[in-house]
Amino acid sequence: MSNVAAPATEGPDRSEAPAHVAIIMDGNGRWAAARGLPRAEGHRRGVEALRRVVRASHELGIRYLTIFSFSSENWSRPASEIGDLFGLLRRFIRNDLASLHRDGVKVRIIGERDGLESDICALLNEAEELTRDNSRLTLVVAFNYGSRQEIAKAAQALAREVAEGKRDPASIDAETLGAHLDAPDIPDPDLIIRTSGEQRLSNFLMWQAAYSELVFVPIHWPDFDKPALESAIAEFARRERRFGGLVAKTAS
């Protein structure tokens, strides 16, 4: 874990880019408050940052980009703010889906869809269906997502298989449980970035983060850009060179 205070002056070699980067996009509200702007403006600027980072991810050779779009705990926020967030999601999919598809981006959604408004579910389904055959970059959107809930749901599915006589309890191991998570075909993140200086996972990809490198940056999400992403990747590459990758991590 580390803080990265400033963007690197030189970007990382494309060959050193992690295959899978996950980002906790934090700080929209604080960015807006520091400028005397409404929180909704911070969220709007956060969408602009997302566009920049999706484009930069492909340019840097990242194959999977996972973003924490809406946490299952976000329902405790004021109704007006939730409405703003959902409005931005609607506009992002309606306005950006065609360009994402044109650029070869595959969209995947993880998280609970039960209880969401029908038009939101339809938009999420449309994004996945339209882009399902794309292969340049996979954008995984964690929406109405919580890692504890994901793990509990996987455990429940295995418990039902045992109760129905379809599975021996002794056959359940880490690999089996992992196969019942929301996107078992997507590799675990190599690098998890959290913006805005907070240093915690906040119920995000806790199972998948077992061997991820964690980089925390003081930049609020609306200010995050390609140089900031390059700086985080450079830190990741330094650690990989220093420790020799996953083998050294698992052996330590």
Catalytic residues: 26, 74
> Which strands make up the sheet holding 137-145, listed edge to edge?
2-3, 213-216, 191-194, 20-24, 64-71, 137-145, 105-110
At a CB cut-off of 8 Å and minimum separation 6, what does 195 contact?
A: 23, 24, 25, 26, 27, 217, 219, 220, 221, 224
The reply, when asked if residue 148 is annotated as ligand binding, is: no
The reply, when asked if residue 27 is annotated as ligand binding, is: yes
CB 240 within 8 A of CB 13: no
CA distance 242 to 235: 11
The reply, when asked if residue 36 is annotated as ligand binding, is: no
The reply, when asked if residue 200 is annotated as ligand binding, is: yes
Beta pairing class for 64-71 and 105-110: unpaired
The reply, when asked if residue 43 is annotated as ligand binding, is: yes
The reply, when asked if residue 165 is annotated as ligand binding, is: no
Q: Render the burial of 20-43: b for 16+ CB within 10 Å, e for the rest.
A: bbbbbbbbbbbbbeeeeeebbbbb
Phi-psi region of 2 (alpha: psi -120 to 50; beta: other; left: phi over 0): beta
The reply, when asked if residue 28 is annotated as ligand binding, is: yes
CA distance 133 to 151: 28
The reply, when asked if residue 221 is annotated as ligand binding, is: no
The reply, when asked if residue 118 is annotated as ligand binding, is: no
The reply, when asked if residue 10 is annotated as ligand binding, is: no
CA distance 12 to 237: 8
The reply, when asked if residue 115 is annotated as ligand binding, is: no
The reply, when asked if residue 102 is annotated as ligand binding, is: no
The reply, when asked if residue 94 is annotated as ligand binding, is: no
Bind-site residues for substrate: 27-31, 39, 43, 71-73, 75, 77, 194, 200-202
Bind-site residues: 26-31, 39, 43, 71-73, 75, 77, 194, 200-202, 213
Bind-site residues for Mg(2+): 26, 213
